[in-house]
Amino acid sequence: MLITIDGPAAAGKGTLAGKLAAKYGLAYFDTGMVYRAVGLEMLLNKKNLSDTDAAIRYARELTFPRMMELSQNPEFRSLAGSKAASVVASIPDVRKALLQMQQDFSKNPIFADGSPACGAIYDGRDTGTVVCPLAEIKLFVTASPEVRAKRRYNEYLQKGLDADYTEVLEQTVARDKNDFSRESSHPAKDAVIFDTSDLSIEEVFAKACEIIENRKKTLEK
Ligand code: C5P
């Protein structure tokens, strides 16, 4: 089984994907990690974010183990790391270079401990449109910018990171503008769209399970 969950930053995709992966025994690929890895290479190597050639080079050189190594760096999910990821993600050749690695995972999905899984769940912006256009189940989750900024702000505080709500909101809006200027970030035609602004994590999970069960029934017919 292949499931994709797309939507804007901090809409709750990661939390939902993790819970669904556990329920259905699926391996999980957070595709934002590939862009965060390239963005972090740029920051660590003191490259200007407008240096497109450097970003393309890091994207072409990126391996799965290197991405996992970079993900341990505290800057990986920081405000600066998020901005760098969004900037490099807007370079078409960077996206092209990172596509194969994302698609390969669905052919051979593995759990975090390296053991094989019988399917995968992806989250990102274009997983239902570009990375896995043939996925059986596609979800598109969204929420208002204010709700998403509050969630991200709370995450930073929980991790002990320095954060300012107004700055997080500004960045959320800026990333939306950048990320959704691409047609591929818009919901796939066969995606089920739902707004999580007024829902708890448990309610979002229950709704997603209902959508998946209904879709499975349709596919079995
Ligand atoms: O999902 P996350 O916030 O970790 O993604 C970081 C950035 O990577 C996004 O702001 C977006 O620019 C980019 N991204 C993308 N396509 C994906 C996943 C993430 O362009 N499938």
Residue 141 DSSP symbol: E
Residue by residue, pLDDT tens for the chain (221 residues) are 999 999 999 999 999 999 999 999 999 999 999 999 999 999 999 999 999 999 999 999 999 999 999 999 999 999 899 999 999 999 999 999 999 999 999 999 999 898 999 999 999 999 999 999 999 999 999 999 999 999 999 998 998 888 899 999 999 999 999 999 999 999 999 999 999 999 999 999 999 999 999 998 988 88
Residue-level pLDDT at 22? 96
Cα angle for residues 76, 81, 84 (degrees, 5° grid): 135
Query: How confident is the model at residue 219, as a pLDDT?
Result: 86
Please state the pTM of the whole predicted model.
Answer: 0.95
Structure tokens at 73: 């760096």
- Which pLDDT score is estimated for 220? 86
Question: What is the pLDDT, as a whole number, of residue 162?
Answer: 84
Cβ neighbors of 73 (< 8 A, separation 6 or more) are 40, 44
Domain boundaries, the chain: 2-220
Which residue is closest in CA terms to ligand 1's atom 5? 32
In short, whether 86's Cβ falls inside 6 Å of ligand 1 is: yes
Statement: 2-220 belongs to CATH 3.40.50.300: yes
Would you state the pLDDT for residue 221?
Answer: 83
CB distance 36 to ligand 1 below 6 Å: yes
Q: How far apart are CA 87 and CA 100, in angstroms?
A: 20
The CB of 87 under 6 Å from ligand 1? The reply is no
| Coil, helix or strand at residue 7 | coil
Query: Residue 129's pLDDT is what?
Result: 98
How far, in Å, are 11, 20, 36, 80 from residue 53 at the CA level? Answer: 31, 38, 17, 20
